[in-house]
A and B are shown apart, each in its own frame.
Chain A
Amino acid sequence: DIVMTQSPDSLAVSLGERATINCKSSQSLLYSSDNKNYLAWYQQKPGQPPKLLIYWASTRESGVPDRFSGSGSGTDFTLTISSLQAEDVAVYYCQHYYGNIYSFGQGTKLEIK
């Protein structure tokens, strides 16, 4: 099974600054037949279910602010928040959906510095 590893485990960033979260998979998530990376990003705030931010590694879900962006391919991926807002304090998870057995990264807790 594919193992997802996020770094760092926690991150403190000043308001208005850039936040970068990394996600590494134990095998490539790039499917050769469609040239797509089967990787999604979620945001979870306390007491709430997760919210989908990004899928296909870089496609923003409808309604997600454009300060959120995803990049990467193969086994290495990044979620970037270009200018941190107070409402972005949350735990962020990557998830692969390659094959039939999926998994999440362990999560990255994002706080305000």
Chain B
Amino acid sequence: EVQLVESGGGLVQPGGSLRVSCAASGFTVTNNYMTWVRQAPGKGLEWVSIIHTGTNIYYADSVRGRFTSSRDDSKNTVHLQMNSLRPEDTAIYYCARDSVMAYWGQGILVTVSS
């Protein structure tokens, strides 16, 4: 059974950093594209980043240069390192499998506030 479990969320001050992780089971992250999507409170979905099966990684304009996606094949986990955080980055962060996302985690809340 495919499962995705996010962790690492919480409260961080503006300008700070946080890393959220997504542990996968039931499949191998090495062999699949992995996507990050976020949703600000009461707002719509925003595509954030995708890691391809090779080394290619792509980002939305809103996070490029501040966020870094990575993959830890040994732990079957993907990470989203978020730096220079802003209040507008406050959102539930979801990881999902593939570019067409049939499998999603339950999401993890990141709050950027002083």
Chain A residues near B (Cβ < 8 Å): 1, 40, 42, 44, 49-50, 52, 55, 61, 91, 93, 95, 97, 100-107
Q: Is the pair A104, B101 in contact by a Cβ cutoff of 8 Å?
A: no
Instruction: Mark interface residues in B31-63 (1 if CB within 8 Å of A CB, else 0).
Output: 000010100000011110010000010111100
Q: Is the pair B45, A104 in contact by a Cβ cutoff of 8 Å?
A: yes
B67 at the interface (CB under 8 A from A): no
Q: Is the pair B58, A107 in contact by a Cβ cutoff of 8 Å?
A: no
Q: Is the pair A40, B45 in contact by a Cβ cutoff of 8 Å?
A: no
Q: Is the pair A101, B60 in contact by a Cβ cutoff of 8 Å?
A: yes
Contact A97/B99 with A49-B105, A50-B45, A103-B47 known, Cβ cut-off 8 Å: yes
Taken together as a complex, chains A and B put the C-alpha atoms of A40 and B102 apart, in Å, by 10
25 contacts between A and B (CB under 8 A): A1-B61, A40-B100, A42-B45, A42-B101, A44-B45, A49-B94, A49-B107, A50-B94, A52-B100, A52-B101, A55-B100, A61-B102, A93-B45, A97-B99, A97-B100, A100-B50, A101-B58, A101-B59, A101-B60, A102-B50, A103-B60, A104-B44, A104-B46, A107-B44, A107-B45
Q: Give the distance to chain A from B48, nearest Cβ to Cβ, in Å.
A: 10
Q: Is the pair A49, B104 in contact by a Cβ cutoff of 8 Å?
A: yes
- B residues near A1, Cβ cutoff 8 Å: 61
- A residues near B50, Cβ cutoff 8 Å: 100, 102
Instruction: Mark interface residues in B98-114 (1 if CB within 8 Å of A CB, else 0).
Output: 01111011110000000
Q: Is the pair A95, B44 in contact by a Cβ cutoff of 8 Å?
A: no
